[in-house]
């Protein structure tokens, strides 16, 4: 398994506040890695740094031998690192299919004139985009809602659509920010299955922030624990579960 | 039978009485000293009561049937078919409307055609601003600036002896360039802040036009702008120096000033149709979807690899280009332009057209443009109260129908039905 993402000494400072302090993180191909920690520990800030929404104060982010720090968010996304958000961010007034078509923007024929003249090449590229959208709608079970406005879907469906929207960009790394938040136990089980399916069948590596310990412990290959911006521990679920410091800071006594 | 059904039936019956009462219940009789309104014959009134009863009982007993029909219709719609994004039926309707619009000017008075031409200019402006405000969600209060750029581009180039059809793309390109330039400083702004900067931009353009006296003639404006020609044929009574021929002379018919008005109308119609076609295509292109996505959520756009810079600039540029086309046509039609024509109130009216029509909806914008230009004209008798009525109408519209006359409908993508 080759190394995909190598983060070292990642630090993010907002004025006097040290939100993230020398966090290190490694992600290999076809791996599910989780980042856990109490609220306000800086997990989402780490995500924001990795995806270019924040420019990290210092530290290195190396993706397949290429430095990403300082790169703009949309360029990082084009390299194959996409994310979902803690609060669902769909294009609410657009239909479900349109959400998936927007996400395929850079794989489409965006030439102004071929679109204006509706050339054969343009139609072909639109058709293949629709078919790819259909493939993912089937995967996340939203085909029957294809022409529904995204904002009118149930919350669990919106979550799934957001994942599908990331997947149609054909990413290598999928970053999920609390994907199980607000889901009922059954939906969480479905999510569990979906994430494993993404890893095993679609060859994506997954970086996960989550508070649902059952989910995290069940599917993670490795876990990083962050507390108050500092890395606290890392290792396999078994190692983390039995680490006394993690229990004290986050998990609590069972 | 639920209470609601009875109430519904009562409301329908009363509505029927009000609507039909005007037609059947009252008749006009000419008498010495003027027309008198009198109640109609009892036989007419019988019909009225009969109709009311029919409506009442129909609503009372058959609402469920009507509902069932609706369900059947919806069930049919929900099936996926082959991927096809264009609807044939609406194309047919559009053809009929277009044919009507072409024949229409030959049957009405000169004043009406002139007003219709003005309306078409506003349709074009509304459709252009719709790209920026309705689709991309960037509130632009200085749109009239691009309109002015287009108008002055044509006026100045025409003075150098350039023809209308050569100038049209140049004027559009000039306006687009200004749109692009305005786009840069406002890239980081949103909402109210963006509105204020664009407002300032519109004013800057107007003040520049007012003060660059050598180039633009200052407050005196530019007059004697050449009218468009039909393949070199002029529509004047007499040929100007260096012209090819006049229209009436070439076809050997007597001169009629109506020809020019109709020609201008048809040209405006052509431009509007082109605008509609282009914007319709844009909506179905990746860039059109990206505009809407940007309006919905800029951060999500970035996370999916869309560059907000490119998307915003393209919206500003393309929107401005349409204003440029409209502006150059406006200059050609008026024959005279001055900074007076490009004040803030124009921007406000165009924005009102977009908002009234329903953000993003093309048909809505067209309807609103017609309303906004024709209604003030119809209400000319109430001269002093015109703006008051106008304002009241807007207020009530926003209370009752904040989404606009015809809110945008989502394109229905049809996926293949699996066997």
For B224-255, the three-class secondary structure string (H helix, E strand, C coil) is CCCCCCECCEECCCCCCCCCCEEHHHHCCCCC
Among residues B143, B168, B146, B145, the alpha carbon closest in space to that of B325 is found at B168
**CA geometry: angle B399, B344, B325, nearest 5 deg:** 100
Q: Contact at 8 Å (CB) between B40 and B27?
A: yes
How many C-alpha atoms does B352 have within 13 Å on its Cβ side?
18
| pLDDT band at residue B82 using 50, 70 and 90 as cut-offs | very low
Cβ <8 Å between A115 and B416: no
The mean pLDDT of B321-337, rounded to a whole number, is 94
* Residues in Cβ contact with B29 at an 8 Å cutoff, skipping those fewer than 6 apart: B35, B36, B38
Question: Do you know the residue count of chain A?
Answer: 254
Is B74's pLDDT higher than 70? no
Is B217's pLDDT higher than 90? no
Give the per-residue pLDDT at B103. Answer: 86
Alpha carbons B280 and B293: distance in angstroms, whole number = 17
Same domain as B108, residue B154? yes
* Residues in Cβ contact with A190 at an 8 Å cutoff, skipping those fewer than 6 apart: none
Q: Contact at 8 Å (CB) between A68 and A52?
A: yes
Is B105's pLDDT higher than 60? yes
Within B85-163, where are the H helices? 88-103, 110-129, 143-159
CA distance B304 to chain A (A): 6
Report how far Cα A12 is from the mean position of its chain's Cα atoms. Answer: 20
Same domain as B190, residue B130? yes
CA distance B262 to chain A (A): 30
Cβ-Cβ contacts under 8 Å, A93 against chain B = 292, 295-296
In a domain, B393, yes or no: yes
Among residues A184, A80, A197, the alpha carbon closest in space to that of A138 is found at A197
Cβ-Cβ contacts under 8 Å, B304 against chain A = 74, 77, 82, 102-103, 105, 165-166, 169
Of A74, A127, A130, the CB nearest to B306: A74
Same domain as B65, residue B207? no
Please indicate whether residue B6 or residue B306 has the higher confidence score (pLDDT): B306
Cβ-Cβ contacts under 8 Å, B295 against chain A = 93
Same domain as B121, residue B26? no
Cβ-Cβ contacts under 8 Å, B279 against chain A = none
Element (H, E) at A63: strand A58-63
Alpha carbons B145 and B161: distance in angstroms, whole number = 24
Q: Contact at 8 Å (CB) between B248 and B255?
A: yes
Alpha carbons B300 and B287: distance in angstroms, whole number = 16
Alpha carbons B226 and B331: distance in angstroms, whole number = 9
In a domain, B417, yes or no: no
Give the per-residue pLDDT at A110. Answer: 78
Question: Do you know the residue count of chain B?
Answer: 419
Same domain as B368, residue B271? yes
Give the per-residue pLDDT at B241. Answer: 63
Same domain as B351, residue B385? yes
In a domain, B55, yes or no: yes
Same domain as B287, residue B194? yes
Is B419's pLDDT higher than 50? no
The tens digit of pLDDT for each residue in B20-65 reads: 777 777 776 777 777 777 777 777 777 788 888 888 888 777 765 5
Alpha carbons B162 and A245: distance in angstroms, whole number = 81
- pTM of the shown model: 0.80
All residue ranges of chain A with pLDDT < 70 are: 253-254
- Please, what is the angle between helix B386-400 and helix B362-378, to 10°? 150
Same domain as B66, residue B94? no
Among residues A205, A167, A195, the alpha carbon closest in space to that of A31 is found at A205
Cβ-Cβ contacts under 8 Å, A98 against chain B = 289, 292, 410-411, 413
The tens digit of pLDDT for each residue in A125-149 reads: 988 999 999 999 999 999 889 889 9
Cβ <8 Å between B305 and A74: yes
Same domain as B94, residue B72? no
**CA geometry: angle B369, B374, B375, nearest 5 deg:** 105
Among residues B139, B309, B306, the alpha carbon closest in space to that of A91 is found at B306
Alpha carbons B57 and B408: distance in angstroms, whole number = 36
Ranking A23-32, B141-150, B200-209, B383-392 by mean pLDDT, the lowest is B383-392
Is B418's pLDDT higher than 50? no
Give the per-residue pLDDT at B75. Answer: 46
Chain B residues within 8 Å of chain A (Cβ atoms): 80, 83, 278, 281-282, 284-287, 289-290, 292-293, 295-297, 299-308, 410-413, 415-416
- From B413, which residue of chain A is nearest by alpha-carbon distance? A147
Give the per-residue pLDDT at B229. Answer: 77
In a domain, B60, yes or no: yes
Same domain as B95, residue B65? no
Cβ <8 Å between B297 and A149: no
User: What tokens were used for A47?
Assistant: 């995500």
Q: Which of B77, B111, B129 is the last residue of a domain?
A: B77
In a domain, B348, yes or no: yes
Of A105, A122, A146, the CB nearest to B415: A146
In chain B, the largest separation of any two C-alpha atoms, in whole Å, equals 82
The tens digit of pLDDT for each residue in B145-170 reads: 999 999 999 999 998 888 888 999 99
Q: Contact at 8 Å (CB) between B292 and B305?
A: no
Cβ <8 Å between A115 and B281: yes
| pLDDT band at residue B404 using 50, 70 and 90 as cut-offs | confident
Give the per-residue pLDDT at B71. Answer: 52
| pLDDT band at residue B301 using 50, 70 and 90 as cut-offs | very high
What is the percent of chain B with per-residue pLDDT over 70, rounded to a whole number? 89
In a domain, B297, yes or no: yes
Report how far Cα A240 is from the mean position of its chain's Cα atoms. Answer: 22
Give the per-residue pLDDT at B80. Answer: 41
Alpha carbons B159 and B171: distance in angstroms, whole number = 14
Q: Which of B77, B107, B141 is the last residue of a domain?
A: B77
Same domain as B288, residue B165? yes
Question: Given the structure tokens 């194959």, which residue do they identify?
Answer: A80
Cβ-Cβ contacts under 8 Å, A51 against chain B = 303
Q: Contact at 8 Å (CB) between B197 and B186?
A: yes
Task: Give the gyration radius of chain A's Cα atoms.
Answer: 19
Give the per-residue pLDDT at B191. Answer: 80
Range of the domain at B30: 3-77
How many domains, in total, are found in chain B?
A: 2
Same domain as B115, residue B72? no
The mean pLDDT of B354-376, rounded to a whole number, is 87
The tens digit of pLDDT for each residue in B239-285 reads: 766 667 777 777 777 777 788 888 899 999 999 999 999 999 998 89
The mean pLDDT of B338-359, rounded to a whole number, is 90
Q: Which of B50, B77, B104 is the last residue of a domain?
A: B77
User: What tokens were used for B102?
Assistant: 């072409």
In a domain, B331, yes or no: yes
CATH number of the domain where residue B182 is located: 1.10.3470
Measure the CA dihedral A27/A28/A29/A31, to 10°: -70
In a domain, B150, yes or no: yes
Residue B118 Rama label (left phi>0; alpha psi -120 to 50; beta): alpha
């Amino acid at each position: 398994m080759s190394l995909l993402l190598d983060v070292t000494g990642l630090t993010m400072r907002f004025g006097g506040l040290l939100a993230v302090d020398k966090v290190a993180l490694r992600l290999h191909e076809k791996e599910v890695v989780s980042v856990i920690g109490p609220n306000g520990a800086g997990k989402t800030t780490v995500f924001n740094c990795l995806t270019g929404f924040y420019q990290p104060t210092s530290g290195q982010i190396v993706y397949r031998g290429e430095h990403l720090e300082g790169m703009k968010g949309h360029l990082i996304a084009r390299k194959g690192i996409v994310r979902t958000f803690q609060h669902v961010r769909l294009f609410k007034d657009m239909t479900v299919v349109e959400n998936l078509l927007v996400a395929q923007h850079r794989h489409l024929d965006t030439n102004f004139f071929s679109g204006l003249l509706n050339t054969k090449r343009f139609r072909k590229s639109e058709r293949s985009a629709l078919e790819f959208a259909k493939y993912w709608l089937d995967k996340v079970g939203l085909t029957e809602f294809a022409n529904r406005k995204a904002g009118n879907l149930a919350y669990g469906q919106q979550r799934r659509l957001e994942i599908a929207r990331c997947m149609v960009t054909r990413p290598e790394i999928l970053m999920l920010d609390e994907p199980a938040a607000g889901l009922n136990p059954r939906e969480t089980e479905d999510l569990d299955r979906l994430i494993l399916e993404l890893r095993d069948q679609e060859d994506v590596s997954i970086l996960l922030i989550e508070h649902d310990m059952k989910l995290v412990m069940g599917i993670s290959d490795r876990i990083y624990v962050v507390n108050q911006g500092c890395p606290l521990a890392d290792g396999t679920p078994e190692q983390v579960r039995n680490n006394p410091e993690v229990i004290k800071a986050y998990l609590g006594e069972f | 039978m639920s209470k609601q059904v009875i109430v519904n039936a009562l409301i329908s019956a009363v509505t029927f009485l009000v609507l039909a009462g005007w037609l059947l219940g009252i008749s006009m009789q000419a008498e010495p000293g003027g027309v008198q309104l009198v109640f109609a014959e009892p036989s007419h009134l019988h019909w009225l009561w009969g109709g009311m009863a029919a409506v009442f009982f129909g609503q009372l007993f058959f609402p469920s049937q009507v509902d069932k029909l609706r369900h059947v219709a919806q069930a049919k719609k929900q099936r996926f078919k082959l991927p096809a994004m264009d609807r044939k039926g609406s194309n047919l309707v559009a053809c009929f409307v277009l044919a009507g619009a072409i024949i229409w000017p030959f049957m009405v008075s000169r004043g009406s055609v002139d007003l219709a031409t003005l309306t078409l200019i506003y349709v074009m402006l509304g459709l252009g601003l719709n790209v920026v405000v309705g689709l991309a969600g960037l509130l632009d209060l200085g749109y009239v600036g691009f309109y002015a750029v287009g108008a002055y581009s044509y006026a100045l180039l025409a003075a150098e002896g350039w023809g209308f059809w050569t100038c049209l793309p140049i004027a559009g390109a000039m306006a687009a360039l200004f749109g692009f330039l305005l786009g840069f400083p406002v890239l980081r702004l949103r909402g109210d802040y963006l509105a204020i900067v664009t407002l300032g931009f519109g004013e800057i353009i107007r003040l520049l036009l007012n003060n660059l006296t050598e180039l633009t003639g200052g407050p005196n404006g530019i007059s004697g702008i050449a009218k468009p020609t039909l393949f070199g044929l002029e529509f004047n009574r007499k040929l100007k120096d260096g012209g090819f021929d006049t229209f009436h002379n070439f076809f050997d018919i007597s001169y009629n000033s109506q020809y020019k008005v109709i020609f201008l109308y048809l040209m405006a119609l052509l431009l509007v149709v082109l605008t509609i076609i282009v914007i319709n295509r844009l909506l179905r292109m990746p860039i059109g979807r990206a505009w809407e996505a940007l309006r919905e959520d800029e951060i999500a756009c970035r996370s999916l690899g869309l560059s907000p810079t490119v998307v915003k600039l393209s919206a500003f540029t393309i929107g401005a280009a349409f204003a440029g086309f409209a502006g150059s046509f406006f200059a050609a039609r008026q024959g005279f332009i001055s900074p007076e024509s490009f004040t803030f109130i124009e921007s406000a009216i165009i924005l009102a057209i977009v908002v009234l029509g329903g953000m993003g909806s093309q048909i809505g914008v067209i309807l609103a443009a017609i309303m906004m230009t024709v209604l003030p004209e119809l209400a000319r008798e109430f001269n002093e109260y015109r703006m008051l009525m106008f304002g009241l109408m807007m207020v009530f519209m926003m209370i009752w129908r904040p989404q606009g006359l015809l809110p945008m409908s989502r394109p229905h993508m049809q996926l293949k039905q699996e066997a």
